[in-house]
C-alpha cells in the first residue's frame, strides 16, 4: 500500500533497535522524522501492513545526487510476518527499481537479519563505511 503520514507516525515508535541506530547514524533526531522525510523525498514509499492493517515496515526508492537509493525500516512484527513479507518483497523489488539501473544504500554490518535479506534479494556488498561510530556495508542492487 502507498505510505501515508499516519503510517509513519504509527510505525515510528516501534522500529527495531538496529533500525533506530541506522536512523540516528543518518543524522535524524527521531524515527518519525526519518519516515516523514522519506515520504517527502522518495519517488515511491510503500507501507507493509499486517492482517489487522497495522504498519510493520515502510520502504521506498528515490534519487539522492547521482545514485538512486532504496531503504527499509521495520518493527519487530517483520519477523511475525516474515514469509509473506519476504515473498512480497522479492516480487515487488523489480517494480520498485524498474526506472533505475542500480540502487544503493547502507546497512549496519552487524544487522544480520537485514544483511541476509538483502543478499537474498540480490544485493552486492561493495565496501565497509564508518558512519557515526558504526560500521556499515554499502550495498548495491542491480536492475536485471
pTM summary value: 0.93
CATH superfamily label, 5-142: Gcn5-related N-acetyltransferase (GNAT) (3.40.630.30)
Q: Counting beta carbons within 10 angstroms of the beta carbon of residue 138, is it exposed (0 to 12), middle (13 to 18) or buried (19 or more)?
A: middle
pLDDT for the residue numbered 126: 97
- Centre a 10 Å sphere on the Cβ of residue 116 and count the other Cβ atoms it contains: 10
Q: What is the pLDDT of residues 3-62, one digit of tens each?
A: 999 999 999 999 999 999 999 999 999 999 999 999 999 999 999 999 999 999 999 999
**pLDDT tens across 93-137, in order?**
999 999 999 999 999 999 999 999 999 999 999 999 999 999 999
Amino acid at each position: 500500500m502507498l505510505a501515508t503520514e499516519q503510517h509513519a507516525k504509527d510505525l515510528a515508535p516501534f522500529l527495531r533497535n538496529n533500525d533506530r541506530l541506522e536512523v540516528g547514524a543518518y543524522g535524524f533526531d527521531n524515527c518519525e522524522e526519518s519516515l516523514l522525510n522519506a515520504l517527502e523525498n522518495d519517488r515511491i514509499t510503500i507501507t507493509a501492513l499486517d492482517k489487522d492493517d497495522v504498519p510493520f515496515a515502510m520502504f521506498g526508492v528515490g534519487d539522492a545526487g547521482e545514485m538512486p537509493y532504496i531503504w527499509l525500516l521495520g518493527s519487530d512484527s517483520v519477523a511475525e510476518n516474515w514469509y509473506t513479507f519476504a515473498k512480497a518483497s522479492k516480487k515487488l523489488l523489480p517494480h520498485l527499481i524498474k526506472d533505475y539501473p542500480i540502487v544503493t544504500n547502507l546497512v549496519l554490518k552487524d544487522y544480520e537479519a537485514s544483511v541476509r535479506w538483502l543478499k537474498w534479494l540480490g544485493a552486492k556488498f561493495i565496501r565497509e563505511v564508518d558512519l557515526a561510530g558504526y560500521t556499515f556495508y554499502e550495498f548495491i542492487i542491480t536492475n536485471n
